[in-house]
Structure 1
Amino acid sequence: MLRIDRATRDAIVAHAKRDHPDEACGIVAGPEGSDRPERLVEMVNAAGSPTFYEFDSLDLLRLYRDMDDRDEVPVVVYHSHTATEAYPSRTDVGLASEPDAHYVLVSTREHGNNDGPVEFRSYRIVDGVVTEEEVDVVEQLPAPGAPAPSGSES
């Protein structure tokens, strides 16, 4: 299950809507070994495409160095689909190189960059196998080591 705070979820959705009709992409970093998505890093889609996303290799290298300096890992890798459902394509599965990450897809196909709901779904992708997981949106993440808050929303 992906547990994510509402502000981060809303920022990912806003990024997807803002970049529509091109796909948006980014990473949410968190402390190594924690599975806590804490620091949103919006990336530029170097492909500039409505059907494909690509992280700029130099930006990605800088990000991984920064995460290494902060003892962080990519907890969430996200991108948007602008014309299809929020489900990983064959290309997405082939590019999935972080077996411990949650792969979040946001579909903006219905409303584009206008107001309206989006599909927000999360997957684990390991060795080419796609498994959808529940998304638990909470007002804020509990302090490290604290129990999950009650009343969270999926």
Structure 2
Amino acid sequence: MLRLDRATYDAIVAHAKRDHPDEACGIVAGPAGSDRAERLVEMVNAAGSPTFYEFDSTDLLKLYREMDDRDEEPVVIYHSHTATEAYPSRTDTGLASEPGAHYVLVSTREHGNNDGPVEFRSYRIVDGEVSEEEIELVDEL
């Protein structure tokens, strides 16, 4: 199960809406081994695409060095789908390289960047196997 505080949830949704019609992406880091999603890092979608996301390799390397220095790890890796449901595509599954991370997908297909609800779901992806998990929203971690 993914435990996520309301402020982080709201920030991920806002990022997905803001970047629509392109896919948004980012990471929520937390203390290594804790499974606590504490520090949201919005990333730029280097692909600039409505159907694909890609972390900028320089930004990603910088973030991983920073997380290493802070004894953090990626707890949540998120991105949005702009025209399809919040379910990992074959490409998403193939690129999932952090077996300990929660993979969050936000679908903005219904309302785009306008007011209205989004589909917000979380998965574990290990060795190409996708399993959906519950999300518990809390006021604070």
Sort the TM-score into its range (normalised by shorter chain): over 0.9
Residue aligned with 1:87, SS: coil
- TM-score, normalisation: structure 2: 1.00
Structure 2, gaps ≥5 residues long:
none
In structure 1, the gaps of 5 or more residues are 142-154
Corresponding position of 1:133:
133
Shift of 1:72: 0.1
- Which residue identity lines up with residue 106 of structure 1 in the other structure? V
CA RMSD of superposed structures (Å): 0.2
Task: Among all aligned residue pairs of Structure 1 and Structure 2, give the percentage whose two residues are the same amino acid.
Answer: 87
Question: Using the alignment, how far apart are the partners of 2:110 and 2:139 within structure 1?
Answer: 26
Q: 1 or 2 for the larger relative contact order (CA 8 Å, sep ≥6)?
A: 2
Q: Equivalent residue for 1:43?
A: 43
Equivalents in 1 of 2:113, 2:31: separation in Å? 32
* 1:93-113 CA-partner distances (Å, limit 9, x unpaired): 000000000000000000000
Using the alignment, how far apart are the partners of 2:109 and 2:139 within structure 1? 26
Q: Deviations over 1:37-94 (max 9, x none)?
A: 0000000000000000000000000000000000000000000000000000000000
Query: Is 2:83 the partner of 1:87?
Result: no
Instruction: Name the amino acid aligned to 1:117.
Output: P
Mapped partners of 2:131, 2:40: distance in 1: 23
- Which has more radius of gyration? 1
